[in-house]
């Protein structure tokens, strides 16, 4: 009999403790400004309706709902669904709780989608993060290039133009940065691009001969929506690379009407002389001229001058 009495007393104590916790929790919930505003807008939610759905109100009140309170966009990582914030809707006397992406989650997904649309080969992070907002300046020597970029991007609103741009000028004037800024702008418009650093491109193709992956990689360069070749002419190339790799890629893109961008320290005339001399020292002006002709078919030359941006 004594054990039954002890159990009963313990049950009574636990019940009183539960009631104290419950009442304190209810008090905290009802004092929350968001809950007060909700009840003010929905007077049909009486005490009975509130008590019946208190757990939903507790969940809503306990989650981070304001992205302004997030530290570096990570505040909602503590929520039941990290990256999502609670949303509460009322239908009569019924409360419905759901979750929606917070602004930081939306931004992260947008950045992820953008990065997936920009493929690159040995391009620095600074270039991959380049922005059109940073290329507008007062230097008149860059004005022609900026106008040409704007015209190309404006044209993409209708359809992808068939010709890109061939930026040429001294070292350090921002030609490569232009390419990165254009790539990011295209990514925002859901247009894929690929940026490749020419010297590394040459080494990559030479290395691909060993594992027989040349054709696979060349096909990718051929078919990408917008191809960008940075620093063309930076090193000597073999006749094989010039004619079978570069020539093949440019020929395909010319026939398919796919734009190609370039950056170079050489004008097209200077580049032609450079391409005419192979790594063996042979002079092949005719074959170099064919490459230049294809470059002219897939891009328009734009000279870039001004103060060094480095």
Q: What is the pLDDT of residues 260-270, one digit of tens each?
A: 999 999 999 99
Instruction: Set out the domains of the chain in order of their start, with CATH numbers.
Output: 2-105 (no CATH), 113-303 (3.40.50.300)
Closest CA to 208 of 235, 244, 232: 244
pLDDT tens track for 231-279: 999 888 888 999 999 999 999 999 999 999 999 999 999 999 999 987 7
**What pLDDT, on a 0 to 100 scale, did the predictor assign at position 204?**
85
Query: Tens digits of per-residue pLDDT, 79-111?
Result: 777 788 888 899 999 999 888 887 777 777 666
Residues whose CB is less than 8 angstroms from the CB of residue 148 and which lie 6 or more positions away in sequence, other chains included = 165, 300, 302
Q: Residue holding tokens 């004594």?
A: 2
Share of the chain above pLDDT 90, in %: 37
Phi, psi of 166 (to 5 degrees): -110, 100
Two tokens, residue 306: 């001004």
User: pLDDT for 176-221, tens place per residue?
Assistant: 999 999 998 998 888 999 999 998 888 888 888 777 778 888 898 9
Please state the pTM of the whole predicted model. Answer: 0.67
Q: Are strands 84-91 and 94-101 parallel, antiparallel or unpaired?
A: antiparallel
> Taking 50 as the threshold, does the pLDDT of residue 1 lie above it?
no
pLDDT, mean of residues 62-76: 63
């Amino acid at each position: 009999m004594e054990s039954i009495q002890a159990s009963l007393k313990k049950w009574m104590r636990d019940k009183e403790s539960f009631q104290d916790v419950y009442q304190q929790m209810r008090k905290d919930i009802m004092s929350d400004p968001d809950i007060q505003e909700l009840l003010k807008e929905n007077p049909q939610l009486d005490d009975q309706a509130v008590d019946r759905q208190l757990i939903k109100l507790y969940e809503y009140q306990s989650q981070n709902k304001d992205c302004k309170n997030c530290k570096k966009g990570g505040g909602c990582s503590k929520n039941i669904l990290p990256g999502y914030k609670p949303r509460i809707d009322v239908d009569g006397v019924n409360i419905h709780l759901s979750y929606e992406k917070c602004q930081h989650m939306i931004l992260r997904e947008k950045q992820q989608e953008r990065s997936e649309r920009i493929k690159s080969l040995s391009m620095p992070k600074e270039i991959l993060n380049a922005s059109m907002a940073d290329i507008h300046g007062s230097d008149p020597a860059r004005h022609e290039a900026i106008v040409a970029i704007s015209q190309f991007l404006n044209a993409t609103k209708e359809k992808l133009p068939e010709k890109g741009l061939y930026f040429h000028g001294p070292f350090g004037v921002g030609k490569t940065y232009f390419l990165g800024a254009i790539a990011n702008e295209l990514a925002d418009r859901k247009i894929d691009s690929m940026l490749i650093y020419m010297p590394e491109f040459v080494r990559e193709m030479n290395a691909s001969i060993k594992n027989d992956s040349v054709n696979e990689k060349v096909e990718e360069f051929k078919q990408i929506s917008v191809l960008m070749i940075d620093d063309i002419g930076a090193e000597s190339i073999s006749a094989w690379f010039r004619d079978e790799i570069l020539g093949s890629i440019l020929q395909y893109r010319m026939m398919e009407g796919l734009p190609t961008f370039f950056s170079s320290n050489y004008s097209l005339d200077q580049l032609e002389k450079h391409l005419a001399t192979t790594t063996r020292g042979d002079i092949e002006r005719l074959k170099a001229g064919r490459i230049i002709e294809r470059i002219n078919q897939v891009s328009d030359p734009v000279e870039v001058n001004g103060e060094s941006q480095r």
